[in-house]
Amino acid sequence: MNKIKKLLAILPLFFLIVGGNVQAQQQSTSTLETDELLKLVNLKTVDGRKVAEVPLQLVLQLALEQSILLQSSKLGNALAQRAVIAAKERNTPSVSTSFGYSKSPSISASSSCSPSELCGSSTSSMSFSSAYSLKSDSGLTYGLTYSEQSKKSTTLSLLEMGGDVTTGTTGDPLSSVSLTSSVSIPFFQDSGTYYNEIPVRLAEIGVTTGQLNTKQTELSLLKQVASIYWDLVGILETVEVKKKAVDLSEKLLRENQARLEAGLLSSTEVRITETQLMRNRQSLLSSRLDGLRIEDQVRAALNLRNLPVGLYPVDKPATQAVVTENEADLMEKIYANDSQIGLKKASLEQNRYQLEQELNKQKTNLDLNLSYVLNGYSKSSFGGISDFSKSKLHGMNVTLTWNVPLGDQATIENIQRKRLEQEQISLQIEDRKSQLEVNFQSLLRSLSLIEKEKQTAAAVSNLSKDQLRNEIERFKLGKSTSYQISQYQQDVIEAEQQEIMIRIRQEKIRVEIMALTGEFIEKYELNQK
């Protein structure tokens, strides 16, 4: 196991060494690192092709590290985390500031003017206002506003209609300032931390959903890769069986050609042996091509399409596949591990918060608005601030606003819809549990039957080998034919292939069970980054 861990640590270096620019990479890699790598990764030649021996643990680890789809899913998790941060920072304070200037002339007939005269004034004003506002998680809204207005007036007079407007005296400027603090208190609708933090809870559910989707992608990837790995194991074992068949056919052909030359055998018998040899070679070539095709699937799953050496699995199927853990405990583990159930539960929780939001809309909206004002006056800007300490210039305002929703049928229907969705999701969870239980029981039955199949297949294989040996001996005595030998040889190949298929099917069922229970990570000690 330590050897595997060391291999995982330097594996990226390995793929740099054997990658597309292999010569350039080797020049940048020290001899020591290369030697250490060769000690950890066994490179050998199989059928004239250089291959790297890889255990299933290494292949699964590579799948986790190299999968582009899994990397994309993890980026989605990061996006969901950002959404939570944004939801928590939704109530950031705000400041608004305004400046203004105006000039308003006005004249009219007045008792203060002569009968033939119009009089009035021209008022110039400058204003400044700055307001701070903050809404808390409890629903309270706080405000603080500073405002100032400075005015100056000049008298105007018009002696006759259409004549010139003359200016008179200009009054002293007057600056009025105020500082207002306010608070708005909701008593029913939008009141309390629970309702105001629902956006945060919904964003957190988004994170949970993203993690469950990543987990589902991860398990699906591991299941796919492990299944292909065992397919590769099976086809390579089949290749070895067919190589033995070719070797045997070549031996029989040599022996039959010797008998032909000695006049002990007819040319027909030799031709039959040659035909069987060609068939065996063709079958071997076909299996080798299947092996390359499956290996390409492994490369694609690991995102290692340009690796210049082959992949050679070293793990072998287990001799037994008995599930020793309590079935009830395994089912609980399966329920807890199932991403679909997790997603349904997340959807149920999301629906519950959305229902709370709809119920909040139906509440009476009773708000209490309180404000307290400090006033001041001066002939200079900001001079009125000194009056803020004068209690007689203080003011206050209390407003109680009551809003009762009537006939909001849309909200009522949304509430009913959310409650029906909750029932629907709960039933879907129970249905999913039933499906998982049926699937698990089916896998257990398959494992039990496979043990019996293995025994039967082994017996058939041994009998076929015995029959082939006996038939070869009978052939040497002139009591059989090459055709009969070829038939028995085919029976041996089929029997051994059947044994291989059964053992590979056993491993694939084990893969299915590990995918259900989520034991891939623990069993193969996979590092999740």
pLDDT of residue 41: 62
Confidence label for 478 from pLDDT (cuts 50, 70 and 90) = confident
Confidence label for 244 from pLDDT (cuts 50, 70 and 90) = very high
Give the least confident one: 212-216, 375-379, 459-463: 375-379
pLDDT at 238 > cutoff 90: yes
Q: Can you state the angle between helices 68-88 and 198-261, rounded to 10 degrees? A: 170
Q: Write the single-letter amino acid at 358.
A: E
- The alpha carbon torsion through 22, 28, 32, 35 (nearest 10 deg) reads 0
Backbone CA torsion sign across 164, 169, 173, 174 = negative
pLDDT at 446 > cutoff 70: yes
pLDDT of residue 505: 93
pLDDT of residue 529: 60
Confidence label for 37 from pLDDT (cuts 50, 70 and 90) = very low
3-state secondary structure of 432: helix
Residues 241, 493: Cα–Cα separation, whole Å: 7
Confidence label for 161 from pLDDT (cuts 50, 70 and 90) = low
- Summary mean pLDDT of the chain: 85
The alpha-helical segments, DSSP class H, found in 135-197 are 193-196
pLDDT of residue 13: 43
pLDDT of residue 322: 62
What structural domains does the chain harbor?
Answer: 42-79+202-341+425-518 (1.20.1600.10), 97-135+140-186+374-399 (no CATH)
pLDDT in tens, 166-211: 887 777 788 889 999 999 999 888 888 888 888 999 999 999 999 9
pLDDT of residue 20: 41
Average pLDDT estimate for 270-292:
93
Tell me, what DSSP letter sits at residue 141? Answer: E
Cβ–Cβ < 8 Å for 506, 498:
no
Average pLDDT estimate for 429-437:
95
Residues 6 or more apart in contact with residue 102 via CB below 8 angstroms: 124, 125, 127
Confidence label for 105 from pLDDT (cuts 50, 70 and 90) = confident
Give the least confident one: 6-10, 190-194, 221-225, 378-382: 6-10
Cβ–Cβ < 8 Å for 211, 70:
no
pLDDT at 474 > cutoff 70: yes
Between the two ends of the chain, the Cα-to-Cα distance in Å is 19
pLDDT at 25 > cutoff 60: no
